[in-house]
Amino acid sequence: MASAALELLRTSIAVAQRINPITPHHHVVWCVLSAKNKDGLPELSAEDRLSFFHAVRDTQEKITTETGITDFNINWEEGCGKPVPGGLDSWTRYVHVVPRMVGDLEGDAVHELLDRWTWSGGMIVQPEAEPWPCDAKRKDRTPEIMAAEAAQFRQMLSSAGIPKNMAACADGFKFSHIPIASGLTFFVSEFGSTVAFVNLRPFRRGHVLLSPRRCVARLRDLTRVEYEDLIDSAGRLGDALRLVEFPRGFEFSVQDGPLASQSIPHVHIHMIPRI
């Protein structure tokens, strides 16, 4: 574990430290709470979870202030049972904040490196993890195939107890300049500012996108309410889909800026099932 001298941020909820960085200034934000649920696993209240993710955004801001770096990969996993300080968790309770600079990593190498990252140093090989496909192998899908998948997700969420009035964005929305039809969406938050929709070119089955309705390019541009609604929606969707279809949980990934491979200038979270 990194020493306290390497801490960038500490709150009552979280600590941000440089722990086995894969790029310069890479920090891991990890939760210091140890509350247990009925199964003996660490658990956060909804309020604490949002406070934790505010620490993630504060870590980005501190790195930008100290280094001038503005582009980041933000990655975390939920439901994957990876080791964390204090034992195994039902979600990993740590988030990678990976600053990106020109020429540091190629393509999606950041995801493969994070798949193999460990607390103790060195890299591990996870033979059960499906490799990330190269971009050239990802193909556009037809609207009909995407609409059928969205309908499947709406059914999954209904089975998991998500109310029907949250099952789709009735009027669709614009993902940057791209119109997303209502039939391609499968979730809209209670607050109404977050939408989930199927992916034109998924990495693997079940890879979907979650986005604020308002078009902003960066996480820092979201209001506090929008940011909290986005994070809360990601957790709610992950929990629901893990119950009915994807028991190993999800990797969540934000490409925050063009150097982090963001191709559409509209904040979005990739939800990628662990296979």
Q: pLDDT for 94-115, tens place per residue?
A: 899 999 999 999 877 898 899 8
Each residue's pLDDT tens digit, 174-208: 999 999 999 999 999 999 999 999 999 998 899 99
pLDDT at 53: 95
Q: Is 5 exposed, middle or buried (0-12, 13-18, 19+ CB in 10 A)?
A: exposed
pLDDT at 1: 42
Does pTM top 0.85 for this prediction?
Answer: yes
pLDDT at 217: 98
pLDDT at 254: 97
pLDDT at 45: 84
CA distances from 189 to 39, 150, 170, 234, 242 (A): 28, 16, 12, 10, 18
List of the chain residues with pLDDT < 50: 1-5, 38-42, 83-91, 125-128
CATH topology of domain 4-116: HIT family, subunit A (3.30.428)
- The domains spanning 4-116 and 140-273 adopt the same CATH topology: yes
Q: Which residues are catalytic?
A: 268
Neighbours of 133 (CB within 10 A): 13
Domains in the chain: boundaries: 4-116, 140-273
pLDDT at 82: 53
The rounded distance, in Å, linking the Cα atoms of 77 and 273 is 10
Beta strands in 52-202 (DSSP E): 71-78, 83-84, 87-88, 94-100, 173-175, 178-180, 185-188, 194-198
CATH superfamily of 140-273: HIT-like (3.30.428.10)
pLDDT at 34: 67
Residue 269's region, left for phi above 0, alpha for psi from -120 to 50, else beta, is: beta
pLDDT at 88: 39
